[in-house]
Structure 1
Amino acid sequence: MDRSSLLQLIQEQQLDPENTGFIGADTFAGLVHSHELPLDPAKLDMLVALAQSNERGQVCYQELVDLVSATISSKRSSSFKRAIANGQRSLPREGLLDEPGLGVYKRFVRYVAYEILPCEVDRRWYFYRHRSCPPPVFMASVTLTQIIVFLCYGARLNKWVLQTYHPEYMKSPLVYHPGHRARAWRFLTYMFMHVGLEQLGFNALLQLMIGVPLEMVHGLLRISLLYLAGVLAGSLTVSITDMRAPVVGGSGGVYALCSAHLANVVMNWAGMRCPYKLLRMVLALVCMSSEVGRAVWLRFSPPLPSSGPQPSFMAHLAGAVVGVSMGLTILRSYEERLQDQCGWWVVLLAYGTFLLFAIFWNIFAYDLLGAHIPPPP
């Protein structure tokens, strides 16, 4: 039963005489039984689940077609919808998001589904299949390591704000400094160092509030790839655009996560069920803009005589670009393999080209341009 025959059958039966685009779930179930349509029982369960999420107990034509059409259209469907159409996955009725009497953890899982996923089918499948093991260890581990490193340097330097003004701070083997760019690990490890309590608090809060739910839904591999891609792009962008500046903080990765999530919300505005979407979007943009403004002020404010140039703000912008490009591709492909998407290969090729250019720039451009970089600590 393809799309055209299904819609023709509904039209002939006059199940929607007012052309509203909806039919009752019970009416459709009766149609299935009376005409003996080859419909898998799991599809009926999903249709009932969708109908129960609707105040009037109706099924949308588009949701109906997505679930029962045996012919895959030219537009690529998600692997979940394809699997449901082929009867490879089942969704029992007791696994509904609206089920009362849920425990605290299951309520949190339901909250995450509403926050992250724009499609009702994906939300329900995620809620049903989610398991607490493995936990979202990547974002939690990164945040914990950043806090431990900050506490260690704060106690050692006896300084908890504007640590970069301390002459001993830049001697850390974790900080990216243009004079030490041959030590390749610094292009990533700078994410564990922070200017002060305000930067650490901002990054840790966003990593836990946005990064952990994203990792719960999309998995450790995808979110760690996105975060580290933002971190690496941040330091490499600074080495190209602000050749004298060091870099500290995990803002490149944080902005990659945040911009990807915000872009996903905007692209799927109508389908997102998170409350106060507009207000939260405005607050997020104001906070992120304020953080960038603070970084710009620190970069160009007169440093103390004992310190060199302050850390660059370009890592924030580079992370945002990575999030909108690579991150949006990752978040829009829930339950679908990235390698099956043409857009993913285009984004990956663009990122690889940038990496090659940045590597050659760091090897040759500093000497060719005669850049006057501050002496390494």
Structure 2
Amino acid sequence: MFGVGVVNEEWDNMMDVEPPEHELDPENTGFIPVENFTSLVEHHELQLDPSKLDMLLALVQSNEEGQVCYQELIELMSSKRSSSFRRAIANGRRTLQREILLDETGLGLYKRFVRYVAYEILPCETDRRWYFHQNRLCPPPVFIAVVTIVQIIVFMCYGIMLNKWVLQTYQPDFMKSPLVYHPGHRAQVWRFFSYMFMHVGLEQLGFNALLQLMIGVPLEMVHGILRISLLYMAGVLAGSLTVSITDMRAPVVGGSGGVYALCSAHLANVVMNWAGMRCPYKLLRMILALVCMSSEVGRAVWLRFSPPLPSSGPQPSFMAHLSGAVVGISMGLLILRSYEESLQKQCSWWVIVFSFITFLLFAIFWNIFAYELLGVQIPPPP
């Protein structure tokens, strides 16, 4: 087994200064006896990453059968996303040598921010320490930042062009934008995504931008751009498709579907791991977040059914908020709970993906056939 795969340079160098492989695994079973492994870890001449050394020492004590799986060692040393090291430590009889991250002293501004993010997002001290020590500046959390900047630029351009900064949807020229989702233009597929760059007014933009920066950037720093962008865009798409099914006459503007996907996933993760979360004032922050989200939904409902100027413009739907929250609780919660694990290896992930694809196919056929079959009178597109 010691000839399988390519291990990183640290491990190769360790092997160069230690006993031959037949002494470490004399029976070629793929497992290393704890006594041999302890000697290898504690007496090697290299200075390993402190977090990796902590994990290795904990791994030594974790197996009741007195042996260490070589494949788990490979995954740990190569820093792959895997639950192997976490499981080894969780099942072990000793704790890690280092104190909790909050006791770390002499940290720079960036490392203090990384420590804050670790305690804000991750419920397990082992996960927090692993993230803290392996965190790198590249790739930076650019997705949420870029989306927010584009939303602000688009809003300012339309604000200047329309000379209106509040309730822009009541400006007749606003709905002529090629970015707005309108049921009369549903054949233009990009509108099911591009509506996230348009906003009703300054208050909706400010609320969405603040939430997605405060919650989305830390989430992207921990879980990566692919997972968070997938979650955000799934919320955006689910928002417009849900409106096209449940509120067939209403247009959609705003990034609330994606924002609520992020927020609901994070809040659900905090609730599910309440005892392990160490973010400060978590109860107060939870209450404030729920109040803000509820008031935003209430405001959207009010604009839909009791608009201030009902004859002067369309009333965008509020269903995008709710569908984004559903996406966050289902898909997002699994993503946030699988920090070390590959999503592709989890049956529940494929169940969620299959459900989302089924919903997507149903919504496509609905948009093609249902409007004509049901005789829905769509407001004329601008």
Normalising by the residue count of structure 2, what TM-score does the alignment of the two structures yield? 0.78
C-alpha spacing 1:66/1:373, structure 2 compared with 1 (3 Å): farther
1:1-377, aligned counterparts within 5 Å?
Answer: 36=35, 38-39=37-38, 41=41, 65=62, 70=68, 79-83=81-85, 98-302=103-307, 304=309, 307-377=312-382
Q: Separation in 1 of the partners of 2:53 and 2:342?
A: 28
* SS of equivalent to 2:264: helix
Shift of 1:310: 0.7
C-alpha spacing 1:41/1:237, structure 2 compared with 1 (3 Å): same
Q: Separation in 2 of the partners of 1:150 and 1:136?
A: 23
Instruction: Please give the per-residue CA displacement for 1:182-215, whole angstroms capped at 9, x wherever unaligned.
Output: 0000000000000011100000001110000000
In the other structure, the counterpart of 2:25 is none
In the other structure, the counterpart of 1:24 is none
* SS of equivalent to 1:138: helix
Decide whether the 8 Å contact of 1:230 with 1:319 is kept in 2.
Answer: yes
Instruction: Please give the per-residue CA displacement for 1:243-271, whole angstroms capped at 9, x wherever unaligned.
Output: 00000000000000000000000111111
Decide whether the 8 Å contact of 1:165 with 1:303 is kept in 2.
Answer: no
Q: Separation in 2 of the partners of 1:160 and 1:111?
A: 35
C-alpha spacing 1:100/1:282, structure 2 compared with 1 (3 Å): same
**Amino acid across the alignment from 1:212:** V
C-alpha spacing 1:282/1:69, structure 2 compared with 1 (3 Å): farther
Structure 2, gaps ≥5 residues long: 1-33, 43-47, 72-79, 90-95
**Amino acid across the alignment from 1:82:** S
* SS of equivalent to 2:103: coil
Q: Separation in 2 of the partners of 1:105 and 1:66?
A: 36
Decide whether the 8 Å contact of 2:169 with 2:314 is kept in 1.
Answer: no
Instruction: Please give the per-residue CA displacement for 1:32-84, whole angstroms capped at 9, x wherever unaligned.
Output: xxx948447489x769979xxxxxxxxxx9xx748998589xxxxx9544147
Q: Percentage identity across aligned positions?
A: 77
C-alpha spacing 1:84/1:347, structure 2 compared with 1 (3 Å): closer
* SS of equivalent to 1:270: coil
C-alpha spacing 1:85/1:300, structure 2 compared with 1 (3 Å): closer
Q: Separation in 1 of the partners of 2:144 and 2:117?
A: 15
Q: Separation in 2 of the partners of 1:92 and 1:216?
A: 26
* SS of equivalent to 2:104: coil
Shift of 1:134: 1.3
Shift of 1:139: 0.2
* SS of equivalent to 1:275: coil
Instruction: Please give the per-residue CA displacement for 1:309-358, whole angstroms capped at 9, x wherever unaligned.
Output: 31000000000000000000111110211101111000000000000000
Decide whether the 8 Å contact of 1:97 with 1:124 is kept in 2.
Answer: no
C-alpha spacing 1:263/1:65, structure 2 compared with 1 (3 Å): farther
Structure 1, gaps ≥5 residues long: 1-34, 51-60, 73-77
Decide whether the 8 Å contact of 1:69 with 1:85 is kept in 2.
Answer: no
In the other structure, the counterpart of 2:4 is none
Decide whether the 8 Å contact of 1:246 with 1:312 is kept in 2.
Answer: yes
C-alpha spacing 1:46/1:291, structure 2 compared with 1 (3 Å): same
Shift of 1:304: 3.4
In the other structure, the counterpart of 1:6 is none
**Amino acid across the alignment from 2:215:** I
Q: Separation in 1 of the partners of 2:258 and 2:225?
A: 14
Instruction: Please give the per-residue CA displacement for 1:165-195, whole angstroms capped at 9, x wherever unaligned.
Output: 0110000000000000000000000000000
Q: CA RMSD in A?
A: 3.4
Shift of 1:303: 5.8
**Amino acid across the alignment from 1:351:** F
Q: Separation in 2 of the partners of 1:92 and 1:376?
A: 65
C-alpha spacing 1:114/1:244, structure 2 compared with 1 (3 Å): same
Instruction: Please give the per-residue CA displacement for 1:96-120, whole angstroms capped at 9, x wherever unaligned.
Output: 5632010111100000000001111
Q: Separation in 2 of the partners of 1:47 and 1:97?
A: 19
**Amino acid across the alignment from 1:99:** E
**Amino acid across the alignment from 1:194:** H
Shift of 1:86: 8.3
C-alpha spacing 1:281/1:197, structure 2 compared with 1 (3 Å): same
